[in-house]
């Protein structure tokens, strides 16, 4: 299964929600991540769980330079599709870059930083107390 389908697939352990509900912006972001060769792309449905965003998309880059290039590619993909450019935090260091793209938050990490913060576990659907609501 290609990354875009896998990243938006509800069967993925860190993903909740219906993949068909993924909005066009989320799909554009995932395609931008794929184009930049981002690794381990995960999309988490946040609808009804927080007011920050409807979706969180997490990906990894192989190095700080790669993380920065991935972020640039996603910003360009959003702009080219007619969306406003996402707000970008975390440059020039590029260990962890956060993109605020309206209803989607995108986290791009170096692998060691991603393992340390482990956002997938924090926001996954199988958190205690979350199962009763599903």
* pLDDT tens-place string over residues 29-78: 999 999 999 999 999 999 888 889 999 999 999 999 999 999 999 999 99
| Average pLDDT over all residues of the chain | 83
Question: Measuring CA to CA, how many Å separate 100 from each of 1, 40, 42, 130?
Answer: 27, 20, 16, 25
> Taking residues 100-117, what's their average pLDDT?
96
Integer Cα distance of 26 and 103 in angstroms: 9
CATH no. for residue 38? 3.30.460.10
Asked if residue 128 belongs to a domain, the reply is no
Asked if residue 132 belongs to a domain, the reply is no
Q: Which domain holds residue 110?
A: 3-117
Q: Which of 48, 74, 46 is nearest to 59 (CA)?
A: 74
Count: domains in the chain: 1
């Amino acid at each position: 299964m290609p990354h875009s389908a896998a990243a938006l697939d509800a069967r993925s352990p860190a993903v909740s929600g219906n993949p068909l509900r993924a909005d066009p912006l989320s799909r554009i972001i995932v395609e931008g991540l794929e184009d930049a060769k981002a690794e381990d792309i995960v999309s988490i449905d946040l609808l009804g769980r927080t007011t920050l965003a409807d979706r969180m998309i997490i990906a990894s880059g192989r190095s700080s330079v790669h993380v920065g290039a991935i972020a640039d590619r996603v910003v360009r993909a959003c702009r080219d599709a007619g969306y406003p450019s996402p707000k970008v935090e975390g440059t020039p260091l590029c260990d962890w870059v956060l993109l605020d793209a309206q209803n989607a938050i995108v986290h791009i990490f170096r692998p060691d930083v991603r393992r340390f913060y482990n956002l997938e576990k924090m926001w996954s659907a199988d958190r205690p107390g979350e199962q009763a609501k599903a």
